[in-house]
Structures are given as structure tokens and as C-alpha cells.
Structure 1
């Protein structure tokens, strides 16, 4: 019996410095039945030529090109539309998977009969150095909990298309990954987290994770524009978010085994 096919969705914009390493982390997976869609969002650097050179001996990797810069959500959606996998997973062009990521995750989903799961992950610097602490996944995650703050590291999230159908990102410029997982959990009620770290998230200068004011602004837009909460309800959830993100979520930062 063939293993289920996993479609890996990788949006890329001016990612020449990191994309070879990101793609290699997919190629090095111990679970071999995957396809990778790299969606170039109108890069102005060497991203496309790097991917084209990798594709030549690698038939499982596909390059899709946007004719203008459309944003990460639209890029992911193009990959999701083209995908043929039984499961969909995500990896940004500057992040990394550990070699056993897909194998561990697929086994976990099968054993627990899950429609969605995610995992712990390491934090690394721009040059790839590990930080002393990573992010420990919650053992179980509900839609209600996810409404308060994003607890899914997008580079670790995976969903079962047969149970959810294809779930797409809203066309928000930021926080569209959180919105996607809200859509998944609204449909399947809960997901489970693997405690083992299976990926490495690269913290970049000027990224949204380092810009707290931008984080607050874009979170409000998820509540107000994507979820269609009114001003009062959106403001109420922002209070919950601030507490959850800056107080409760701090407990997730732990020293993880490497």
C-alpha cells in the first residue's frame, strides 16, 4: 500500500539567501512521498534561478510564478490549488524542517485519527544559530483557544484534505497563516500538538514577530476583517490576545532537545 502523498507549500519572495537550505530540508525527509510547490511572489533576486537549478534533477519539485507581488496568502493559495496531496503542509522559504518531520507527523496523525496537527519547533537566528529556547506545542488546541492567540507554528502545521477539504488563506498581507488555522479548527474542532521539535523557525530582523505594534495591528484585522467581528467584539478579543500573547504564551518558550 502506497504512503499518502503530502503536498508541501512554500511561498518565496527574495529568498535567495535561504531557499536552497529550505528545499534541502524537504528533500532530506525520511518520509519520501511528497511533492513541493515553490511559489515565487515576483522576486527581484536570484530566487527563481536557484529553484530552477534544483528542479532539473528533482521531478517532485514544482515552481509556480506570480506575475506581480500578490502577498504570502495568495502565493500559498496558488500552491494549494495546484496540489494533489492527501495532506497539506507548509514551509516558508527561510525556515527548515528536521529530517524526521513528515514521518513523525504522519504516524502521529494516523495513530490519533487527526484531521490537523502541529509540533514544537526551534528558534534560529538569521545565520542559523539555535536560540537557547524554542516553542513547545500545546498538547491539544481548540478553535476557542486559537481565537485568543496563534498557537500553531505554520511551518509545523498539517491538515488532512480528506477530512477538511482544501483550506485556503484569506488575502491578508499578514497573519493569514493564523487565519487559515482558525478556518481549519472551526471545521474540525480540535488539533493536537507533538511535543518533539520538528522544525526551525528563522527569526528575521524587522519581521512581524519582532515588531509588536505591527503584530497588534494585523491581529485586529484578523478579528475585524476576516472573522467579521464588530469593533466592540474585535477590541474585546484584542484584550484577550494581549494577555494571551504577552503573558500566557511566554510559558511556551522552553529549552528543547536538539
Structure 2
């Protein structure tokens, strides 16, 4: 697999050079050295952006391609731009605040002996303010995993997978219409046509800090609702999984104190009889009851 070229795509938005350079350095020090790096800066035009551009060029010179979007387009549009510019047989995405361990791409490339594999993902480590933290046990699924992906994104963020270019050609790139969950959508489309492979080695480091920017809950809910509609045929084949996924959306609305919207959605999906409410409890569990209680009485 040494002859296989990996296109490393890093999207960045208002990130200090010290953080971005950590991601770039982790790509440069991969043991698999046949790669290209494309950095897409999606920040709005500002003096800070020019300073970042000049610093990247000063330190990394011709070791990467640096693209500045003319305006803020979003992370997924930026990824699509970079994929179209890339030349590698494999695509590896890396968020600007994350980090790879040196053998990440080398180990993943070894898993693509069969054309049936469309994505390889792995275990990961999580750091908060520079210190390692304990995370719950990783869900591990191999093979045909569309039902599991309809329930939740067990693969993780974009910094984790390695994906052959031909898979993007076959399944499409990121859906820029979605306000959130674009990675989940991509993984589902891949899982409909290909097998998925898991490596238990922790090969990616997620970095979180007290100043990290997280997606708004509103975008997350809208994204999940759009996926519920986009995959309605698939959910029709797995009604129990649909109830679990819908339950996450419902609980999110309740937690956001949007009870009226939550119950309108519940009526649409489940009806509003006592039997229908009792019927969903095995799927949503104690968490739902707790959220509803606090939304009404606190």
C-alpha cells in the first residue's frame, strides 16, 4: 500500500496557528509518507486570516496546498472543495483542532484488501485542556452496519475515517444542505453500498477545551429531522430503530424547553394516545421521563 497516495484535508475556521499547526504536524509525521495536504481556510476575510496564511506559508512552504475561501461557506462545503482539488486514491479528513497518531493512515490502508470495504474507522483518545479524560466504551461494528448508523453515529467525527476516492465518486460527497450531521449522512450513504471496517487501535486524539466552539443544539435538531425525512424508506424497514432515533430528537426539543414543538412532532410520528406514549418508553427509557419532568416543573 506504499504506492497509494492519501489526500489529507484539513478545514480551519478562526483557529490560532498553534492549534492548526498541531493538526498539520500530525499529518506530516505519518509513517505512510505518500500523501498530500490541503488546508482550506473558511474564515471570513480579516487581518487575522492574512496573518495565519503568511505564518502557514512561512513554516510549511511547499509542503501543503493552502486555499482561502472567498467567504464563509461552512466546513462541509470546504471539504468538498478540497476533495475536488485532491489527487490521492484515499481521502483522510482532519479537523483543525484534532490530531492523528503517527501510524493512523498506515494501519488503515492495510484494511483495504477488498473492494467491498468503503470506510475504515478506529478507536480514539480524548483530551480536555491538554489532559486525557476517560470516555465511555466504544461501540464496535463491522461489516454491513446501516441499521446501526440509522440509530446513531458510532463512527465519530470526520477526523477518524479513511475513505477511498472511488467511494466518494460512487456515493457522493458531503450534503451541504444539511445544517448538521453531514458526517452521519455520508457514513450512511457509504454503508448502503459498502462494508465498514473497525480498528480497535486508538489512532486519533480529540481535543476539547473550555473555549471550544460546539455546534448549536438548534442546528443539531434540524439536521436530525432532515435525516429522518431523507432516510424515511430505510427507517420504514427498521421501525424500532426509528423510534430510538426519533426519541433523541424529541428529548433534545424537551431539553431546549421547546415542549410545544416536541409534542407536535410526537403527534405527527406516533399519535397522542396513552398506548402510543407507553409504547415508546422501552425505546427512550428513564432519560425521557426525567427530561419531561424537569421541562414542566423547573
Which is further off, 135-144 or 2-11?
Answer: 135-144
- Structure 1 Cα separation of the partners of residues 201 and 49 of structure 2: 31
Would you say 1:161 and 2:194 are equivalent positions? Answer: no
* Change in 2 beyond 3 A, CA 1:23/1:206: closer
- Structure index of larger Rg: 2
Cα distance in structure 2, aligned partners of 1:45 and 1:184: 40
SS in 1 for 2:25: helix
> Is residue 2:134 matched to residue 1:129?
no
Corresponding residue of 1:110:
113
Q: Which residue of 2 aligns with 1:68?
A: 71
Aligned to 2:268: none
Match of 1:197 in 2: 202
Give me the CA root mean square deviation. Answer: 3.3
- Shift in CA distance, 242/203, structure 1 to aligned 2, threshold 3 Å: farther
Q: Tell me which residue corresponds to 1:240.
A: 244
Tell me, which stretches of 5 or more residues in structure 2 are unaligned? 252-282, 285-298
Question: Secondary structure in 2 aligned to 1:18?
Answer: helix
Identify unmatched segments of 5+ residues in structure 1.
249-258
Q: 1:222 maps to what in 2?
A: 227
Matched residue, 1:6: 6
Indicate the structure whose relative CO is greater, using CA pairs within 8 Å and at least 6 residues apart. Answer: 1
- CA offsets 1:142-200 (integer angstroms, 9 cap, x no match): 12211111111221111112355263100123211111212222221x20111111001
**Is the CA contact 2:7–2:35 (under 8 Å) kept in the aligned structure 1?**
yes
- Aligned residues of 1:115 and 1:164 also touching (Cα < 8 A): no
Residues 31 and 102 in structure 1, CA contact (< 8 A), matched pair in contact too: yes
Distance in 1 separating the partners of 2:74 and 2:183 = 12
**Which of residues 191, 199, 202 is equivalent to 1:185?**
191
Whether the aligned pair in 2 keeps the contact of 1:10 and 1:92 (CA below 8 Å) is yes
2-structure distance, mates of 1:135, 1:50: 38
Give the TM-score, by structure 2 length.
0.69
Q: What is the CA–CA distance in structure 2 between the aligned matches of 1:183 and 1:45, rounded to whole Å?
A: 40
Counterpart position of 2:94:
91
For residue 109 of structure 1, give the secondary structure of its aligned residue in structure 2: coil
Provide the C-alpha distance between the structure 1 equivalents of 2:205 and 2:137, rounded to a whole number of angstroms.
10
Q: Which residue of 2 aligns with 1:140?
A: 142
On the 8 A contact 1:137/1:195 being kept in 2, the answer is: no
By how many angstroms is 1:116 displaced? 1.4
Contact 1:34/1:60, CA 8 A, preserved across alignment: no
**Matching residue of 2:15:** 15
C-alpha distance in structure 1 between counterparts of 2:197 and 2:248, whole Å: 19
Is 1:100 the counterpart of 2:103? The answer is yes
The 1:7–1:137 alpha-carbon spacing in structure 2 relative to 1, beyond 3 Å, is farther
Task: From the superposition, tell whether residues 200 and 91 of structure 1 become closer, same or farther in structure 2 (CA, over 3 Å).
Answer: same
1: distance between equivalents of 2:226 and 2:240?
A: 13
Partner of 1:79: 82
Which TM-score applies when normalising by structure 1? 0.79
Shift of 1:238: 5.8
